[in-house]
Amino acid sequence: MTLDEVKINQNAVITKVGGEGALRGRLLDMGLIPKTVVSVIKFAPMGDPIEIRLRGYELTIRKEDAAMIEVSLL
């Protein structure tokens, strides 16, 4: 399952961060690293972007980027 498939108010643990080069580095720099617990807060009205909570802060990422992050539900 990927992060863009997680429903609102569900918690998940990141298992793998995909992407290549600068994009993957940017995702890791934002704290999206394996074994991190994330919670989906809300989706924008048109479904993109997604607001998530991790490590005590809220982060908004594009649905396309969220599709590169594999998670497992808690």
At 51, which CATH number?
2.30.30.90
User: Residue 12: is its pLDDT beyond 90?
Assistant: yes
User: Residue 41: is its pLDDT beyond 90?
Assistant: yes
pLDDT value of residue 10: 93
Q: Which two tokens stand for residue 26?
A: 């940017």
Our count of domains for the chain comes to 1
**For residue range 48-59, what is the model confidence (pLDDT) as tens digits?**
899 999 999 999
Give the pLDDT band (50/70/90) at residue 38: very high
Domain that holds residue 37: 3-73
The predicted model scores a pTM of: 0.86
pLDDT value of residue 20: 87
Q: How close are the terminal C-alpha atoms of the chain, in Å?
A: 12
3-state secondary structure of 58: strand
